[in-house]
């Protein structure tokens, strides 16, 4: 009930019993709102020079890695060219073995055909040409 009696119109319209705070005599001091942030960090020239040094460093090592990769490619190519005669000899040996088997099969299949000579070729060329594919 006390709260209800305090909130009546009559009590709300009367002068409050407390004293409101006001500004001190002479007013409040001036509020400084001007931007006064000190300059921090390197200047523009230093940033540009640093960026240039960083990019130069990166390009230097990129070019060095490209040169190294090219040297490795040349070494790999030289290795292949060194091994090529040996690989070609092995391929020629395999080709002759398969060719002998094919000639034997041809002689067996065509033995009853009159006028057929084994190892005769339908098309005679001046130079030997490697077959495109070997039927196995």
- pLDDT tens digits, 33-50: 777 777 788 889 999 999
Q: Which residues of the chain have pLDDT under 50?
A: 1
What does the pLDDT read at residue 39? 73
Identify whether the C-beta of residue 107 lies closer than 8 Å to the C-beta of residue 118: yes
pTM of the model: 0.45
To 10 degrees, the CA torsion angle through 44, 48, 54, 55?
150
């Amino acid at each position: 009930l006390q709260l209800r009696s305090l909130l009546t119109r009559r009590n709300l319209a009367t002068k409050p019993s407390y004293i409101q705070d006001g500004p001190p005599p002479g007013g409040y001091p001036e509020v400084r709102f001007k931007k006064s942030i000190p300059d921090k960090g390197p200047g523009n020239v230093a940033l540009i020079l640093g960026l240039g040094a960083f990019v130069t460093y990166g390009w230097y090592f990129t070019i060095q890695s490209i040169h190294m990769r090219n040297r490795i490619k040349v070494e790999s190519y030289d290795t292949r060219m060194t091994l090529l005669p040996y690989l070609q000899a092995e391929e020629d040996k395999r080709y002759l073995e398969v060719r002998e088997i094919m000639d034997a099969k041809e002689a067996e299949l065509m033995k009853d055909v009159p006028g057929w000579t084994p190892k005769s070729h339908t098309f005679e060329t001046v130079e030997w040409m490697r077959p495109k594919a070997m039927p196995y």
